[in-house]
Structure 1
Amino acid sequence: MARSRTSCLLVCLLAVLTGGVTALDCAPQCRCYGTTVDCSHGVLTGFPRNQLIPSSTEVLLLDDNQLSDVSRNPPLPNLLELSLEDNSITELSRRPFVFRPNIRVLRLGGNAISDVSASDLDGLSQLVKLYLNSNSIATITAFGSDSFVDNLKMLDLQGNKLTSIGIGTFTGVSLLTELNLSSNNISAIEDGSFSHLKELRVLYLHSNHIGMLNSATFMKMSALNRLTLSDNNIQSLPDMAFIGAPNLEFLDLSSNNLSTIPQTSFSGLHNLTTLLLERNNIRSIEDGAFGDLVKLQSLVLRNNKLQNISTSTFPSMELWALDLTQNRLTAVRRDDFARLTKLKYLHLYSNSITSVEDGSFANLADLLVLEIYGNSLTNVSAATFEGLVSVEQILIGGNPIKSYPDDTFWHLPKLSQLGLIGNPLVNISDVLLSRLQGLKNLAIADTGLTSVPALPASLESLVMFRNQLTEIRPGDFTTLPRSGVFRHLPCLQTVTLGERLTCDCDLLDLVKWINKTVVNVRPTPPTCFLPRRLRERSLENLREEDLQVTCPATSVPATPEPTAQTCPTPSPPHATMTTPSQGGSLSLATHKSSKPPMSSSTTGQTVPVMCETCTSPTNVIVQNVKDSLAEVKWAHGGSKDLTGFVIQYKILTEENSLKETELVHSTRRSYPIWGLLSDTPYLACVAVSCKNKVRQPVVDDCVYFATGKTAVSVPQEAVVGLAVGVPLLLLILVMAAVIVFLKRKGRSTAEHVDERRLGQRQKQEASIGLAEVHGDITDDPPYNSINEDLDKGHQENPYQNPDFLTEPGEAGTITNPYIDFPMK
């Protein structure tokens, strides 16, 4: 009883210190937390009464109700944030904000507002962020010279019905730093329309009907560093198209109708680090077109119609990632990539490449990943990969290569992942792979191999389905104290056998091994495919009598039990934590639960994800962090239902900034994300796509990092919640002290509101797992939800849709050669 009274007194003390609202004061259908009143997701038709919303309220949430207008009452003079999203508001009349002069954040998205005039926003002189997204706004006069919101810094107008932007549209909001005009019907932009926005850093214009640009479209925009123009109808780029924005760092021109890149289109963009040109009709790039892009780090040209490149095409010495996937290239010549000495990722798959000159990659000493599968190569040699001293992953399947010289991969000391899926191989020399003592993941599938080649002792994962195996040699399957398979492979963790196994006498030895081994055998459990009467019969309980034949006695002498071996290259359980500014990695050593991962349902309850064959990733880290780029790396055992990964990432201090990459190939265990803001803290998560459905990540699948020189390290406790066992008294006193400190410091700004909302969101995520975050601003097209894009029917996914291979001149050999390649 004494403890209960003490707890009650402390709670009351906390309420007094915070100046907040107790549960007894809270309006019906609302929830109160300190100075936040949350009345969202209800059936309210009007604002709660005065006496039920105290004047001390700083955040009022009325989202997803049935409000038809904005009431003046209660006045709430201390209100900092008002959210009215997803109601039925059609207009803003009677100057509804004049008695709320301190509002910094106003959210009106998802209503039916058709027009916004200056008088509608009277009284909002302190407004910093205004969300008007997803309404029916066709005209706006609120932000002209007589604007009442001249301190506005962020304006979201995406998803409306705007058709044009005039020179006087934004003259009254000169302090804007971010403007979102995406997903409108804009076809015309008057020259100089943005020239008054001297502070504008981010401009979203994607998903409109813009057909033409000129050199004056973005004049006098010296602060602009991020511009999206994707999903428009731009057919050509004029000379010096972006000369008015010399500090641009990120430019997205994907999904337009560009056919050529002129020499001077990008003149003056000396600070550009990311250029996205995917999904156009680009057939040619004039020499020197990227000449001024001296800081360019990522260049994406996938899904175009390029047939030739040359040494003058890519002059940048800083280029970090180059994506030429799904073009019509026919050859790689020795000098094509000679200048790209800092390149780490080179994607050449799904072209029509028939030859690679010896030494074509000789200058790429920093290259980590080379993807050249799905082409028409007939032969390679050690000279093909000469100079790739840092390469970790080579995927070369889906080419009509019938044999590999013994020394093809011998001179690649860092090679750890090799994919040979879809080659018409009949035989592999025992020395081709056995000497690769750093190799951890190998896929030899869909070939004509009749026997298992000698493998290196370092191997951790082996894929060997859809072959013509008729012989399993005596040393292949033997008993081991540790693994029970491949007695010279003490590191082996996963073997993928596929789903078309013929259950005969030759398979009985494999059955014995499966019943003994601790190696993860996929699929789990493996089953018979033939004969038909045994189809789907588990190998675990297969007996000789089930075959209805008498199997001959083996002529192979019994193998004595070998001595225990030690894995020569064990994988570290967790990566070392270093600061991003040092070019290292930043990870959280979190403990994986053995329970099924949890996700949030539409009802807000947590439910187990029914996707047992697709486990969560492990050892998620971020490395090679630069100003606008970072590489996310993870481990995964793979499975037959694994269809890929999606990297989700967001600015740590902005609740609604979630972005997603496109679907990452199921074989990949690292992926670069670009277009990041410099000196900014981020949260990145690896989501698993199981049977083409993206499963939301949990806390253990995520990691914090920061670009530039800002090193942010958030302890694990901040993600997974407070440690169990902290005394109630200590917890409350600490919270009270923090709140008093903040109040004395006077942090009544929009940033303070956003941080408090972020903190509440993190607590919710800790209790239900990292659920999907729905952003206020539509993300750039390359980062939109893969599920949404598939529903709309315009998502380009080369691993699910083979149509991209049907155009003339393209390889067309395979669609997804590594779907079951469980790389780490």
Structure 2
Amino acid sequence: MPGKQRGSTFSQLRLCLCFLMYCWVLADPVCGYFLKNCTIRGNLSDPSNMKVLCYNRNLEVIPIAIPRKVSNLDLAMNKVSKIEKLDFKGLSNLKILNMPRTQISQVENGALGYLEALQVLGLAHNRLTTLSDYLFQGLANLSLLHLDNNLIATISSSSFQTLSSLKTVNLTKNNLYNMKEVQPIVQLPHLQELYIGSNRFTSFQSQEISNTSIELRLLDLSRNPLGVFRITADVLPYLEVLDIAYCGQLGRMEWDVLNRSFLSNVNRLNLSGIEMSFKRMGMVLQTVNSSLVHLRMQDLLNGSRLKVKAVQISPILQDSHNSFFSTIKSPTCVFQDLKELWILKLGSNKILTLNDAFMNGLHKLETLNLAGNKLSSIRKGEFKSLTSLKTLLLYDNQIASMEDGAFEGLVNLTELNLDPPPFSHLTSLENLRIFSQRHKGLSHLPINFLEGLKSLLSFQAGSLNIKDLHRNTFIHTPRLWFLDISKNEFTALTPKLFRPIPRLNSLYLSKARIQSLDFLIAANLSRVTFLQVSKNDITVVNETVLQSLPALTYLDMQDNPFTCGCSDAWFVQWMESDNQTQVVGAGEFTCNYPADLKDTKLLDVELQFCTVDLGLYCYISTTCLVLLTLVASFAYHFLKWHVIFGYYLFLAFLYDTKQRNKLTPHGCQYDAFISYNAHDKPWVLRELLPELEGKQVWKLCLHHRDFQPGKRIIDNIMDGIYGSRKTICVISHRYLESEKLVKRRTYLSWPRAGEQTGVFWQQLRLALETKDDLISQPLGC
């Protein structure tokens, strides 16, 4: 009994531990640094910065093992057509959910309700058609909502009702056609930015959206077929940015703002692509002239020609409906009251000459875009009043001459972009170096900047603050061998940038804010031997990146914020084993993530558990299989009957355990089960039964009397044995041919003829009373 209690206690303890482990798994399903089909970024001990990246994984459903404390989840570019009601259950700490280009066409009501802490929701570029009543229920903390590039045609009147914290809504490129659809949105108490461009709105009238003033700061109505823009009440007193570019029906739009004070706070205005008469355009600018600092007016003429302050107008402009500046001689008066203007974009207007358009006024202008026009020359002093100008774009014109002093007055200019290509005639130039001593160089290199340099071998353009390079920048320099574009602000580069220069041998990209080297995979840089990418933001080195650089002999990656985990295990192993490439300062590479390994040397981190040696596993598996086969063969050949005996003994043990579990708590039904041969029945009935049941008052189980009719014999026998405290075997020559099994136990012999039977019955009574087995081991109770 003590053994049974100990076994029962151990089983209960084991069950309890299993239950606790199961609960712990449910509470926190991810305790490592990796997740199947996704990547975890950030510190697991600091959930506020944890990101789970599952983008572009061909997922058809939302992963179920997302860490419960994650704050940022990216599921972009997958194939999740439907968001189920329980997909985000438990993610109550999630603040950012990004799901663009995921083919979503349906979101079940309440599916987003578990995301009570959500602040940013991105559902752009999907297939949503309707915003239902309870779609955003529970998102009281949502502040930014992206729904652009869907198929939304209907918005329920109460779908935005619970979004009390919403500040920005983007509904660009949908199928909305009635301005009343967005009325519930603009009524939100904290809404500041509303993007509803590229829809099907035919008019904008203030009474359709609100009768009282609203908090809106930015309104984007661009690329809608607006025939009318009408404001009859002061409903937009806080509006600062208004974009109505490329609006209008048949290229024309009616502007009707009853009071100039209605838009008195607008400081950024985009009027590109709108066809208006000069008088109407003057009215528009007068409405905002006291506050405007950024004016964009590109593509105003739809192919017509324009001369700024031209005395004679080209005959093609005689149709007043065809040109903005067709009926005036001095268009500069349009800008004369814009004293606060600091950005002016007049690109793609086919302007022929400037004359004195910028010789007076616009003293605060910082950016002037005149690209894509038909300017043929720049005369002296044409920009002399633009003393604050920093950026001047003149590319894609037809400038053939520049007078001395053409850029007089541009004392603060830091970026100048113009044609023709400055080196177009230097066909034999082999080395070119451009640098800026004040680190305020060009932010953009023209596409044809290197045109003509077909012999160029070395190009250095560091410390220019260049933000991007066009993919065709190097198509004119096929022999380029050395390239240094360090200390710029790229953050990312395209592989197509390097494909025109397959001979490149040395590439310097240090301190360029690059976050990944993946652009090198398809860059066709098989001859590069020297690569410097130190002082960037690289966290992980992809195995494929280094495989794409077969000739690499020198690699400088110092001062990068490495992630010390299995994602960089291959890189560590490669640095330690590769005999071709020298990795400069590898011993000083330090960890930036996770937090508990911050400032630890990358080579000191134990990452052996990350590498899987398939050969070793195959060897171990094969060895175990061979040994198992040998042992099984040996056992079968030499211990066949022992194995069979053990097998049946095991089955008997299982059956015994099962029968014990069936026993009732009230004890056994019989005191003893009598096992005897049919030939011994007379002795049992005449001698055994009268003595034990008659005199000693024991309750016996006999098969001919107590077995249940119709029941299987074996079942009756087993029920009799397990229902009795003892088992008495009446052994005769017929019952047993030999005494081999009987001799393993002490047994009683029936007295011979003439001997007294009292001793036999006395010993049998003692056997039935004792707890120890004198006749047989108890099988039941």
TM-score under structure 1 length normalisation: 0.45
- Give the helix-richer structure, 1 or 2: 2
Larger of the two Rg values belongs to structure: 2
